[in-house]
C-alpha cells in the first residue's frame, strides 16, 4: 500500500513539473545589445530580472516570486557603482531604501512600511554631512522636519500634520540666529509672521489670513518704525499679475482686481469691511463682459446682468436681500427676448410670459 502511494506521488509530481514552463525572455536594443532578461515560469516573472544600459552595462536587477518583486533590488550608474537599493516583500517596498552619489557616498536613506514611507528619511551632502531629516507617517510628512547647513546648524525647521504644514516654521541664518518665524494653518500662512535682522531685531511683521497677506509693518535696522503696507500685488509663476488687493485692519476694503494669466481682468470687485459691496464686474478671458452684479454688505441687492461669450445680454435679474424679486428677463443667445418672469422672495409670483424668437408670445 505504501509503495502504491509513493508511486502515485511521484506521478503527480512529474505531471506538475511537466506542466510548469520555465523560460528566459530577452529584449534587445536596435544595436543588438541586450536590453532586458528575465526568468519566467508559466508566463510570470519568477527568479531574476535585469535591465541594461544601451552600452551593455547593468542598470537594474530584481528578484521575482510568482510575478511579484521579492528581496533586494539594485540599480546602477553606467559606471557600475550602485545608485539605489530597495527591499521588497510580496511586491511592496519594505525596510530601508538607499540612494547613492556616483562616487559611492550615501545620498539618502528612507524607511518604508507596506510600500509607503514610515519614520525618518535622511538626505546627505556629497561630502557626508546631513542635509535634511524628514519625518513620515503613513506616507505623509508628520512631525518636525529639518534642513541643515553644511556646518551642522539648522537652516529650516517645519512642522507637519498629515502632510500639511501646521504651526510654527522657522528659517535660520547659518550662525544660528532665527531669520524668519511663520505660522501655518492647514498648509497655508495664517496669523503673524516675523522677519528678523541678523542681530535678532525685528525687520518685518506680516499678518496673513488663510494664505493672503493683509498687513505688513516694516522697521529699520535700529528698530524704528518705518511704514505700514496694506496694498499688495500678487503674481502668477510666469510673472503676470494675478491680483491687486487692498486691506484695512486685516479686512478687504475698496477695489480688488483679479486677473487671468493672459493679463485681462477677471473680476473688478468692491469690498467694504471684507464683504462685497456696490457694483462688481466679471469678465471673460479676452475682455468681454460676463456679468455685472450689485451687492450690499455681501448680499446681492438690486440689478444683475449676465452676458454670453459673444457679449450678448442673456439675462436680467433683480434681487432683494439675496433673493430674486421683481421682474426677471431672459434672452436667446442671439439677443431676442425669451421670457419675462415675475418673482417675489425667490418664488414665481404673477404673470409669466414666454416668447418665440420671432417675438410672438407662446
Given a cut of 60, whether residue 76 has pLDDT beyond it is yes
d(CA 97, CA 84): 7
Given a cut of 60, whether residue 11 has pLDDT beyond it is no
The pTM score is 0.71
| Greatest Cα-to-Cα distance within the chain, rounded to the nearest angstrom | 104
Instruction: State the sign of the Cα–Cα–Cα–Cα dihedral 51, 55, 56, 58.
Output: negative
Residue 249 is predicted with a pLDDT of: 82
Residue among 106, 85, 107, 104 nearest 96 (CA): 85
Helix, strand, or coil (residue 299) = strand
Contact criterion met (CB below 8 Å) for 174 and 153 = yes
Residue 163 is predicted with a pLDDT of: 96
Residue listed under C-alpha cell 545608485: 83
Residue 20 is predicted with a pLDDT of: 78
Chain centroid to Cα 10, Å, comes to: 60
Residue 362 is predicted with a pLDDT of: 86
d(CA 290, CA 244): 20
Residue 19 is predicted with a pLDDT of: 64
pLDDT digits (tens, 9 = 90+) for 276-312: 999 999 999 999 999 999 999 999 999 999 999 999 9
Given a cut of 50, whether residue 2 has pLDDT beyond it is no
**DSSP per-residue codes, 110-152:** EEEETTEEEEEEEEE-TTS-EEEEEEEETTEE-EEEEEE-TTS
Burial class (CB in 10 A: 0-12, 13-18, 19+), 148: buried
Instruction: State the sign of the Cα–Cα–Cα–Cα dihedral 40, 43, 45, 46.
Output: negative
Chain centroid to Cα 184, Å, comes to: 16
Q: How does residue 7 score in pLDDT terms, banded at 50, 70 and 90?
A: very low
Mean pLDDT for 46-66 is 97
Q: Which three cell numbers stand for residue 243?
A: 491680483
Q: How does residue 29 score in pLDDT terms, banded at 50, 70 and 90?
A: very high
Count CA within 13 A, CB hemisphere, residue 244.
15
Residue 61 is predicted with a pLDDT of: 97
Contact criterion met (CB below 8 Å) for 279 and 291 = no
Residue 35 is predicted with a pLDDT of: 98
Contact criterion met (CB below 8 Å) for 204 and 197 = no
Mean pLDDT for 225-248 is 91
Q: How does residue 1 score in pLDDT terms, banded at 50, 70 and 90?
A: very low
Residue among 21, 55, 54 nearest 39 (CA): 21
Domain boundaries, the chain: 20-92
What are the φ/ψ torsions at residue 139 (nearest 5 degrees)? 80, 0
Amino acid at each position: 500500500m505504501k509503495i502504491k502511494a509513493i508511486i502515485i506521488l511521484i506521478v503527480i509530481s512529474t505531471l506538475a513539473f511537466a506542466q510548469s514552463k520555465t523560460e528566459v525572455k530577452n529584449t534587445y536594443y536596435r544595436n543588438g545589445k541586450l536590453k532586458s532578461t528575465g526568468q519566467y515560469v508559466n508566463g510570470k516573472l519568477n527568479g531574476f530580472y535585469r535591465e541594461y544600459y544601451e552600452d551593455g552595462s547593468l542598470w537594474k536587477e530584481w528578484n521575482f516570486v510568482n510575478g511579484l518583486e521579492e528581496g533586494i533590488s539594485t540599480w546602477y550608474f553606467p559606471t557600475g557603482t550602485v545608485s539605489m537599493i530597495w527591499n521588497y516583500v510580496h511586491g511592496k517596498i519594505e525596510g530601508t531604501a538607499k540612494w547613492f552619489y556616483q562616487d559611492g557616498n550615501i545620498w539618502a536613506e528612507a524607511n518604508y512600511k507596506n510600500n509607503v514611507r514610515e519614520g525618518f528619511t535622511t538626505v546627505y551632502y556629497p561630502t557626508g554631512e546631513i542635509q535634511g531629516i524628514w519625518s513620515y507617517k503613513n506616507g505623509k510628512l508628520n512631525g518636525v522636519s529639518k534642513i541643515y547647513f553644511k556646518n551642522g546648524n539648522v537652516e529650516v525647521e517645519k512642522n507637519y500634520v498629515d502632510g500639511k504644514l501646521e504651526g510654527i516654521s522657522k528659517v535660520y541664518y547659518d550662525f544660528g540666529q532665527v531669520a524668519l518665524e511663520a505660522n501655518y494653518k492647514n498648509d497655508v500662512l495664517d496669523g503673524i509672521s516675523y522677519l528678523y535682522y541678523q542681530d535678532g531685531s525685528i525687520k518685518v511683521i506680516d499678518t496673513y489670513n488663510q494664505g493672503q497677506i493683509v498687513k505688513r509693518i516694516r522697521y529699520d535696522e535700529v528698530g524704528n518704525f518705518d511704514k505700514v503696507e496694506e496694498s499688495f500685488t500678487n503674481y502668477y509663476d510666469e510673472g503676470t499679475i494675478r491680483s491687486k488687493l487692498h486691506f484695512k485692519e486685516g479686512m478687504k476694503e475698496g477695489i480688488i482686481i483679479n486677473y487671468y494669466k493672459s493679463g485681462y481682468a477677471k473680476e473688478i470687485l468692491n469690498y467694504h469691511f471684507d464683504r462685497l459691496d456696490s457694483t462688481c464686474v466679471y469678465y471673460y478671458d479676452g475682455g468681454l463682459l460676463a456679468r455685472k452684479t450689485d451687492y450690499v454688505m455681501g448680499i446681492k441687492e438690486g440689478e444683475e446682468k449676465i452676458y454670453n461669450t459673444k457679449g450678448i445680454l442673456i439675462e436680467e435679474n433683480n434681487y432683494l436681500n439675496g433673493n430674486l424679486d421683481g421682474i426677471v428677463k431672459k434672452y436667446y443667445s442671439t439677443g431676442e427676448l425669451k421670457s419675462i418672469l415675475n418673482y417675489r422672495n425667490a418664488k414665481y409670483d404673477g404673470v409669466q410670459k414666454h416668447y418665440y424668437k420671432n417675438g410672438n408670445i407662446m
